[in-house]
Every structure is written in C-alpha cells, then in structure tokens.
Chain A
C-alpha cells in the first residue's frame, strides 16, 4: 500500500511538529509514508469564503501531487473533509473534465489520522505514553463532516499515563470556522470564550484535538487568558513514548506562548 502524507498548509508552515509526529508514529507502526513535495493546500480557505475560481489551481496541484497513492493520511479532519467533499465542487466549477476525473479518483482516498489508524491499520493501542491530564475537543468537521465518532477517544484511552477528562459541551463548535474567525471576529471570540471556559473547568493541563486550526483559535484565547492550559495535536500525543516524553513539553515549536516582555496585542 502506497501511503502519502498530506501535512496541510497550516501544519507545514506553523506546526511542523505535528507532521513529524505523524511520520514518527506511522513509522513505529510499520508504515513508511511519502511526502509528495508538490503538495500545498487543499483549497478549503478559498472554497469556504466563496472564491471557487481561486481554488481551482490548488485542487489541480492536489490531484497531481497525490496521484497514484492508495491512501492519503492527514492530521486534520477539516482538510480531509475538504478533499473528500469539496474538491468535486471545485472541479465542476473548473469545467475541465480531466480535473473532474482526477478528483473522482483521489477524493475517496484521504483519511483523517484517527480513521487511518483505526480503520486501515486496525489499531487503537499505538504504544504511546503521555503522562498528563488531557481533555479532548472533537472538531466539527471531524465529527460531523467525516463522522470519526469515538475513534480519537479510543486511541487516547489506550495511551499510558494519560488521564482523559470530559469536556463539557464538547460537541459545540469552538468558533474558529476559517475566515469566519476574522469576518465575524466578535461572534467567533464569543464562541471561543465559552469553549476556553469549558476547557478550564475540566482542570486539564492539555487540550487535544485533531485540527491545529481550531487549536490555534482556542489556544490563542487560552494563552491570552494566561490560563496555563496548552493545546496539543492528537498526533503528537500518539507519537509520544517514554523515550521521547520530553518532546511533549509546553515549549514545543508552534505552541502558543508569549515572548519575553514583548507586547502581543
């Protein structure tokens, strides 16, 4: 089986640790992933803002980059959902039958990480160790667009040392919503503030989710509140082992934190 990693544009630029964690985790489970260098972005930010024409070259890049792979693994429910459900829309818009055919080929292939682990590899115990109190936020696109169900929870429940605490109102949206976060910033922050409050109520030290975009939003609020709660992607927890436990320290690259003495507002 040829497996490609779709790292996603946000992880590529902002959270390389998440992509590295996927590589490390899958290698540990005996799967060597390729990283097709031509990949960029799935086009979701454009599609969801209404810029369909602008998404066409991105979808073209995507199908070229991932052509011929049996499975495309991605540490994002949102981007998996976009590739699975929205690329067809963009291809139709392009009016290019070749692109439509190519999208029909690739669009069933993407797997969100927890789907790949549980459904394709058939594992729920990935041999991880993460000695922290954690609460889990099911992101909307993984929950409702993909229907990952309890897969992430089952994976987390098998992590040694990890204590999983219930997040109140877990299934309510955090308010990120892509460009919604800036186009309707006030409403987005109102939603995020409630999510952050629920996270704090759990007493967890770590908020985990399968999408770094949502975590950037919630984490940005938690950081602004100096809450002492950090956000970590599911992949990084699952990749963590006794030997590498120090990788999960809060000062990991990409984690939100405050520069010494610098104004952040």
Chain B
C-alpha cells in the first residue's frame, strides 16, 4: 500500500521542497520540540547517565568486535530452543525467505510489529507482489500505511501528520482494508486510538503469521527482545501460530546481562519515558504457549560493508532510539522524507552511505552533507556514536570515490572541486594569500552587486555579504608592527570609509 523511496532526488532538492510545506514545518517543530523536552527531563534524572552511555557503547562495541562468534552462538542457541534460523545476504534473499514461510502456511496476510529492518528491505511490497497483505499494527505505522505515505521518523513514522490529518486518513481509508472508522470520529487522540484498536483487533485475531524485527538478540540465551509502547507488538508476537523475525546481524549482544544498560538507555532516549510499557522476550518455541513455529532471519544487507569501515562501523552500535533526529536542526526543518530512506536524520545520513556504499548514487552521496556538523546528535546519542566525525569521514569517501573522474558530474561539483583546489593553492602559502587578500575588497564588492550573476546566489539569495576591508589583518600587522607603531587602530584600516 505505501510507496517506496526509490528514485528520490538528492537531499538539497528534496529539502527545498519540504521546507516550503508549512504544515510539515509546523507539525515537526511542535513534535520534535515536545519530545526533546521530555527526553532532556528524564535523562536529567539519571546521575550516572554518562557512565550508562559508556556501558551501552561498550556492550555494542564488544558485540561488533567479535560478531561472527556471537552470531554463531545465537544460531546455536536459537536452534536448540526450537527456532529455525535463516541467513540472508540482502533484501531479496530475506524477502524470499519470509514469502516462502507465508506461502507454506497458505497465508494471504501477516500482522506486523513495527520494524525498521522490514522497511529497509521493502518486505511489505515484496509480500504484496505475492498477493500477501502485510498489516502494520503500530498506530503510527498504520497511519502511514493507510495514508499511502512514507515513514518520516524512526520512532514516530507519522510525525509529519497532525491529528486532523489522521482523522481524515482513518475516515477515508480504514473501510477499504477492514473495519471502518466510526462515522462520528473526532480528532481527539483517545478517540483516534480507540478507532485504530477496533480496526486492528480483527486482524490480530485472524492472522496466522506474525512478522517482527528485534531490538536485541541475546547470543548466550538465544532470546529475541522487542521493546514497544502500544501492546500491538505483544499481540503479534503471541497470537499467531507462526512468527518470523527479521533481525539485522548488528542486533546481537553477547550476554543476557548486556541488556541492562541498553534497556535503561533506550526508552529515555527515544520516547522520553523512564521505562517502556512493553518488553517482550521470547526464546525459541515454548510448547503450548505462543507461536509454535518460530523463524529468525539474520540479515546482512550492507552491514558487513559498514563493519569493514574503521571509522563508520560505530554506526552499527545504533539502537534506533531516534534521539539524534529529535535534536537535529536540519531534520526539524526538512522532516524525514528528504533523506530518501527509512533511516532519516543524522543517523540516516551516515547509515545509508555505510550500508549502501558511496560513489554510485548521487542521492546517497548527498546524505553526508545534509548536516551543519553542529554536534547535537553526538551529544544525545545513548551509545555515543560520534556522528559528526563519521559524517566528515563519509564526505571524504564521497570525494575520493570521484577523484578519478576527469569530467565532474555536474556544474556544482566542478565549481566545488575548483574552489577547493584553488583554496589549496592560495591558502597553502602566506605570500600568495597576502596577494589574494589585496583583491578581497574588490571581490566582496562584486559579490554584493552581482552575487546572483556570479553564481553566488546560494549565499546572496537570502543573505547580505559583508564588505571586505581595504587592509587585511596581516597587512596591518606588518605596517604597524602589530599595532606598536603609530597610525594603528583608528581610521586607516577602515579604508572603506574614505571611498
């Protein structure tokens, strides 16, 4: 039902369109502002927060350092507990496995727990192609699915919608796929939630197959963990006869005790709650209780590529809390769709290029530049991913991937490359710089008058240009011996005044 991000334009173009959407801007500013304040207040309560962050980062780092060993142990424990483990190199393999399981059970529908990884691989679309309906049961995912929309946030995929829009979507679309919304539906949150509950209940009770992701996979016990707020996940994980969980290989943690810091960090960072309402843990099959056929699909889909990147691999520590989205001044204004991926915001700006590689898709290559490098993301990340440093490193990889191209792919790229090369020459030597500075006043005057015509419109379109002084600092220092000789300070360096 919902679309895909395939064919999205590069970030600057997509952002330009999003920035003009006043409803989106308003909804986002309100939602991110609210959640930011909630997070700040509950994180502020934890005195040892920084130690907790270090512990969380340490757990994930330890898991990544010896990933193969932990994954093999996970497989062994899962199998011993009655689950079937599948390995998928990419999205196509993972989707084929899930489709195959649904087909074997003659299922024409599945119910889904909110899951980033199944969106990453486009599972719903793959199932639809085989005539199998995938019902999203998380409230916000339901809104996105019914609205034929795309998620714009990791945790709150319908963050770009307000309640009036949600009422409209429910009224128009629910009847097409199941129980209709009541005709007297209002836009009160409780009323909207009640309508969703009624709509979803018949799907929970009917579906034979449930599909989930996992927040964590514990190697030494063979347990999967899902953390959620609404209880829909618990329904999907316990009611169907068959459960299929698609799990990225970076979700593994070595030991049961490793969950301690992570389960404390996640809710405070993501929803701004002290504790999440539902934590579901299952360890293979429990006879007579819950799904009697349990499958786990362990997915790579670019993760080993990211793991091989010595700077970028820390992005695999991500526990998908979305704190970085909520504090990001870029995300707050453009929203998630502009990033062209189910992983938007600062983490998406590094994760997408790391998973997919740079140098072959302008959209992916634009993402590491979708940041002012303000560092707010690093400050809130519960597992201390140094996003700004990874962004800078990914930028270098983008540039390096195109170094050998004799003809740059666009005028903008050509200008950028020439500017950087030119700056290298001028700034590489102080005498050359001093000569260049003599023309600074002339240059800024030209920029002020003919900015647009000179191709400087990106700056001058909205911002005035300061007038360069007639005398640079360096020239002033030489002339006045650092201000020790007369004629310093006043007047003379303010040459502009005399013109």
Contacts and interface: CB of A to CB of B under 8 A. Distances in A.
Contacts of B433: 9, 12, 40-41
B372 A177 contact: yes
Contacts of B488: 20
Contact of A46 (B373, B420, B472): B420
Question: Which of B379, B423, B489 counts the most A-chain CB atoms under 10 A from its CB?
Answer: B423
Contacts of B397: 50
Nearest to B452: A265
A109 to B, nearest CB: 19
Contacts of A15: 466, 469, 473
Interface in A143-188: 143-145, 171-173, 175-188
Interface residues of A, number: 88
Given A45-B423, A54-B423, A186-B19, A192 B463 contact: yes
A49 B468 contact: no
A250 interface: no
Contacts of A251: 497
A54 B494 contact: no
A187 B420 CA distance: 22
Contacts of A172: 329, 374, 376
Interface residues of B, number: 76
Q: Chain A interface secondary structure, helix, strand, loop or mixed?
A: helix
Contact of A262 (B375, B378, B448, B489): B448
Contacts of A57: 424, 428
B6 interface: no
Contacts of B472: 12-13, 16
A221 B462 contact: yes
Contact of B424 (A50, A54, A219): A54
Interface string A10-41: 01111111011001100100000101011111
A55 B378 CA distance: 25
Interface string B465-486: 1111111111011100011000
A247 B329 contact: no
Contact of A49 (B370, B399, B469): B399
Contacts of B396: 47, 50-52, 93
Contacts of A55: 424
A131 interface: no
A12 B473 contact: yes
B221 interface: no
A20 B462 contact: no
B64 to A, nearest CB: 22
Question: Which of B330, B416, B470, B471 counts the most A-chain CB atoms under 10 A from its CB?
Answer: B330
A226 to B, nearest CB: 10
A154 to B, nearest CB: 22
Contacts, number: 248
Q: Chain B interface secondary structure, helix, strand, loop or mixed?
A: helix
A7 B398 contact: no
A132 interface: no
A20 B429 contact: no
Contacts of A259: 445, 448, 467
A59 to B, nearest CB: 10
B129 interface: no
A3 interface: no
Question: Which of A16, A20, A27 counts the most B-chain CB atoms under 10 A from its CB?
Answer: A16
B325 to A, nearest CB: 14
A106 interface: no
A243 B496 CA distance: 23
B371 A180 contact: yes
Given A9-B433, A186-B15, A259-B448, A220 B465 contact: yes
Contacts of A24: 483, 489
B476 A20 contact: yes
B373 A177 contact: yes
B373 A48 contact: yes
Nearest to A218: B463
Interface in A174-217: 175-193, 216-217
Contacts of A7: 473-474
Question: Which of B368, B371, B471 counts the most A-chain CB atoms under 10 A from its CB?
Answer: B371
B490 to A, nearest CB: 8
A89 B386 CA distance: 14
A190 B449 contact: no
Nearest to B494: A253
Contacts of B420: 45-46, 49, 51, 54
Interface string B440-476: 1000110011011000001111111111111111101
A16 B375 contact: no
Interface in B185-201: none
A246 to B, nearest CB: 9
Given A177-B372, A182-B459, A264 B473 contact: no
A176 B464 contact: no
A43 B392 CA distance: 13
Contacts of B333: 187, 190-191
Contact of A256 (B373, B398, B465, B496): B465
A13 B11 contact: no
Contacts of A182: 458-459
A255 to B, nearest CB: 7
Interface string B411-444: 0000010001101100111100100010010001
A203 to B, nearest CB: 22
A27 B477 CA distance: 14
A173 to B, nearest CB: 4
B469 A14 contact: yes
A258 B373 contact: no
Given A49-B395, A265-B460, A140 B375 contact: yes
Nearest to B437: A13
A259 B449 CA distance: 9
Contacts of B429: 40, 61
A184 B372 CA distance: 9
Contacts of B482: 23, 33, 35
A24 B400 CA distance: 44
B369 to A, nearest CB: 5
A182 B412 CA distance: 10
Interface in B322-369: 329-330, 333-334, 368-369
A41 B425 CA distance: 11
15 contacts: A12-B473, A14-B440, A17-B469, A20-B476, A37-B477, A40-B433, A52-B400, A54-B424, A173-B374, A180-B372, A189-B463, A247-B490, A255-B466, A262-B448, A263-B449
Q: Nearest 7 A-B pairs (CB), nearest first?
A: A177-B372, A220-B463, A50-B395, A173-B374, A50-B399, A144-B375, A16-B473
Given A35-B482, A171-B376, 9 more contacts: A13-B468, A19-B477, A20-B488, A23-B483, A145-B375, A172-B374, A191-B329, A253-B493, A254-B466
